Structures are given as C-alpha cells and as structure tokens.
A and B are shown apart, each in its own frame.
Chain A
Amino acid sequence: MGMTGVLRPGHMQLKVLDLDEAVEFYSNVVGLVQTGRDAHRAYFKGWDERDHHSVILRDAGEAGMDFYGFKVASKADLDRLEKDLNNYGVTTERIPAGDLLETGERVRFEIPSGHQIELYAEKKDVGNGMGYTNPPPWSEAAERGIAPIRMDHALLYGPDIEKVQALFCDVLGFYLVEHIVLPDGETDLAIWLSCSTKAHDVAFVRNEEPGKLHHTAFLLESWEKVLRAADLMSMNKVSIDMGPTRHGVTRGTTIYAFDNSGNRFETFCGGYQSYPDWKPITWTWEEVGPAVFYHDRKLNEAFLSVYT
C-alpha cells in the first residue's frame, strides 16, 4: 500500500465571533453537515466525508485557528510519529480520547511557524449517508448550499517556514510540491506540501506574526460548481476576497471568501495529482502574481495583509 503514516488533513478548529451565527453560515451557506455540538463547539463535515467531523467551530469572540489535525493510518503510526517528533526535539502533548467528540487520543505539538498541529489515529466512521453497499453517487446534502465534498487543505501564515518544511518532510513524511522564491532567489515566500497524491495538503507563507490562518479550503467537484459557489456567495451577501479564478500554483480553480467571523475560506477544484518522486515546481518572484492569481497576474492587497 502506498499511503502509510500521515494520511490527510482531518480536522481544523476555527475560532468564531458568535457560535450560533457561525453555525447558520456553515450549515446553510457553505453547506457542511452538522454532526455534533458540545459546550462551546459545533462539529461539521463535508457531505462525502466519512469520519465524524472535519470542521469544528469554537465560540471565541475572535477569529483564527486553534489547531489543525492530520489523521494517521494506525495507533502504531501515532506512537512512532510521536517518538520521531520527540527525537527531532519537538515537545508533544497527549490530549485524551473524547476531548473532541468521537475522536481518539491526539498528539499535539507546536511547529516553528507558531501553529498547533495534531496527529490522531481514530475518529468514528459515521459514513457519508449513502451506505457501503450499492451506494448512490450523491445525496441531498450534496446540493445544499455550496456543499463541498470535503475539507481539503489549509494555508497557514507564520515565520521560519524552512524549519516547518524540514519538520513536515523529515519527520512526518510530507514532500515539497511547489514553492515561490523571494527576490533574493533563495528564500521561500511560500511552500506547498503534500502527504498524499494531492497537490497540497498544507501550505505555508512566510509572515512575521506567528500562528495565523490564511484560509481553509473546501473541495468542489468541478469549475461549474465553483461558479455555482460564487452565485451562492452573492445571493447570501458573502464577503468575496478574490475570484472565481485560477491559481498558477497547483492549477486549482478557486474563490477566496470570508466566513461571518472573518476567517478566509476557499472553494477549490482541481489541482493536479502529484507524487513524492516528482521534482518540485519553482515560481520566481517576477511571476508571483500569476503564481497566486493566474488571471489577474498580480497579488491583491489582501493576500499578504489579511489573515486571522
């Protein structure tokens, strides 16, 4: 089997200004499926996700990300990766099973960019509602709101991204897919990392302020679904940052928009399939515009200055 160790992004806990308003937004506009609620949090998943949840909203009175978690293939992998992290000099903390609904023990650690990252092996399989025998291709939930298939990846802002890259690649088994180089021709502005055959599972942009979220991305099936998402955003007066357009990096089609707490999210489709033996793609500083927004061919002011 090709995929072992870290499998995929499994959850992100987002801070929101008002939980009830955020639940309304993620249920009816984004079109995620709500699967649970505890004291200060609400749990959601994309219609085709099978594990209990991927997006967790926490009532915080401010915006931002609490942590980003990756699912690993087994408990043995979890133990091994924690040991590898410790040997690499990373301090880890065990969070008991059940702290997040229907989720096993989690290993949490801070990376040099200031983000809290988690690994976990167990989360309840609640299925996508279509069963495991002779399933239909989609369900009613696939058409409610923007209705992403799944939480797909995230772009995080913080310092020391070369140290982050080393940690993700040398310890957690990720590989570099694409990067944008600053005018000195050596230092990276941004890196796109994969632990799978997706063009990215997580990306980082160099930023002085640590621990920040640029966006969490939701996967759609087609460019037409991205355009449908744009219609739904305007019908619901959602604050759109950029798009619909295409990224040069990963070739994905995209819209950047903001939830009603100011957290940026992306509705994303496409991107090529990548493999760990492939050479990384380099974007030079002269072409940073098309690298990020292929049609506008320049960064907008918000790309580097607006994050939560």
Chain B
Amino acid sequence: MTTAYTVTVLPEGTAFASAADRSVLHGMEQSCGRGIQVGCRSGGCGVCRITVLSGTYTTKRMSKAFVTEDDLRAGVVLSCRTYPTSDLTVQCAPKPAATAPLASAETPRPD
C-alpha cells in the first residue's frame, strides 16, 4: 500500500491525505480536498504556488518565473510539482495577482 501523508493548508486549516507518489496538488484533487487553486498542474502557470511551513518533500522541475532559487530555499514551491515525504503544513502563496479586468464584474452563473 502506498504511503499517504496529511497535508494541512493554512489559514483555513483544511487537511487532506496525499499519497507519497502524487504531487500535493494531485493529492488534494484526488481526495476532493480544498484550499489551493488548481491551474495547469504542469509547473508552468504559478497559481498553485505555496509556502511549505513544516515537513519534508521533493520537487520536480517548475517555472523559474514563479520559483527562484531563493524561493526554493525559503520553501516556496508549486504544489503541482511537490511530492511529500512527511506530513506537511502549507500556506497558499499564489503568484502576484494581476488585477483582473473583471474586478467589478460578478461572473454570471447559469440559470
């Protein structure tokens, strides 16, 4: 059986179980967890950026536009390219938000 670790997402404190062979983001999606925004799931878009506050992990290649060497040292990673090797506590650190053209416009929902 694959080892699973518990990932806790601050500030809400929502937690989900993530298998060791899956990325943190994949683990969240697979267990219907919440807390991290899902983007490209491929290390390129930056929306699933997190800071790991505690725990150990390995990473795969991700965009240097969103994760610099300094970021890596500070525990800032893209969750779609981060694989837990212990329980983790993380906080969302999305790429600096560009102001959407729609800030004032509520997106309509279907009837």
Contacts and interface: CB of A to CB of B under 8 A. Distances in A.
Q: Do A and B come from one complex?
A: yes
Interface of A: 17-18, 61-64, 182-183, 189, 206-209, 239, 241, 258-264, 285-290, 296-299, 301-302, 304-308
Contacts of A258: 40-42, 44-45
Task: Identify whether the interface residues of A are mostly helix, strand, loop, or mixed.
Answer: loop
A243 B7 CA distance: 29
B107 A306 contact: no
Contact of B39 (A62, A296, A302): A302
Given A62-B65, A207-B101, A298 B41 contact: no
A306 to B, nearest CB: 4
B76 interface: no
Interface residues of B, number: 28
A259 B40 CA distance: 8
A127 to B, nearest CB: 33
13 contacts: A63-B44, A182-B101, A183-B105, A189-B102, A261-B43, A261-B63, A289-B107, A289-B110, A298-B107, A304-B102, A305-B100, A306-B47, A308-B40
Contact of A62 (B44, B100, B109): B44
Given A61-B63, A62-B64, A208-B98, A286 B108 contact: yes
Given A239-B40, A305-B37, A296 B110 contact: yes
A302 B40 CA distance: 9
Contacts of B99: 208
Interface in B22-67: 37-45, 47, 61-66
Nearest to B38: A302
A63 B102 contact: no
Given A63-B42, A207-B101, A306-B40, 12 more contacts: A17-B44, A62-B44, A63-B44, A64-B65, A189-B101, A207-B98, A208-B99, A261-B42, A263-B40, A289-B109, A299-B107, A305-B37
Contacts of B105: 182-183, 285
Contact of A301 (B37, B43, B104): B37
Contacts of A305: 37, 39, 47, 100
A63 B98 contact: no
A57 B65 CA distance: 17
A17 B62 contact: yes
Contacts of A296: 110
B43 A298 contact: no
Contacts of B62: 17
Given A258-B40, A308-B45, A208 B101 contact: yes
A217 B83 CA distance: 31
Contacts of A206: 101
Nearest to B102: A304
B55 to A, nearest CB: 25
A73 to B, nearest CB: 35
B63 A262 contact: yes
B10 to A, nearest CB: 21
B40 A264 contact: yes
